[in-house]
Amino acid sequence: MMKKIFGIFSFCLVYFAFLLAAIKLFLRNWQSGLLFTLWIIFSSIIIFIMCCSKCTAKAKCSHVLPGLIGKIRPCKSAKKYGIKEFTAILIGFGSITGVSQLILFDNPILTIIFWSQIVTGGLFIILKICPTCENKCCPISEKLKKDGSDTQISSIK
């Protein structure tokens, strides 16, 4: 249960950071705000479909929503994530983060809030979710398990 709470919380932290940028953009120009919000949704769905459909543990997804979206596509072969998956993450997440940064750049307080949420969400994912994840295709969770990091937080399983 704690694993799902950490998963949902980290997911929400990251997306609330993006929402912060979208709201600021909506206040400037509603058409641009709508376009950016649609880009967030589109990029996220692409990432979920590319990566989550390959996940061998999507039925037990701690983030919940990506696992549900990942179930839309039939499970791909259980091979390690490759260049297509990493490119989808890099372009999708990178473009959303980059555009958010451009939107928030002129306000240091919002920029600090944005990066605090992104970093905190990322740390929750790396420290609390990845080591307990059962995805055999993900090099991050496999690396953390080999390093023994899963024994430090095995109480959240």
Residue 155, CA distances (Å) to 3, 8, 18, 80, 132 in order: 9, 18, 31, 27, 10
- Spatial separation of the C-alpha atoms in residues 60 and 2, rounded to whole Å: 13
Give a yes or no: residue 88 inside a domain.
Answer: yes
| Segments in the chain below pLDDT 50 | 149-157
Give a yes or no: residue 155 inside a domain.
Answer: no
**pLDDT score of 157:** 42
Identity of the residue numbered 157: K
Give a yes or no: residue 153 inside a domain.
Answer: no
Provide the residue count of the chain.
157
**pLDDT score of 154:** 42
Q: Domain residues for 32? A: 2-148
Give a yes or no: residue 93 inside a domain.
Answer: yes
Give a yes or no: residue 97 inside a domain.
Answer: yes
Among candidate residues 125, 150, 147, the one with its CA nearest the CA of residue 13: 125
Give a yes or no: residue 117 inside a domain.
Answer: yes
Contact yes or no for 134/57 (Cβ under 8 A): yes
Contact yes or no for 103/111 (Cβ under 8 A): no
**pLDDT score of 113:** 96
Number of folded domains that form the chain: 1
Give a yes or no: residue 96 inside a domain.
Answer: yes
Give a yes or no: residue 156 inside a domain.
Answer: no
**pLDDT score of 114:** 96
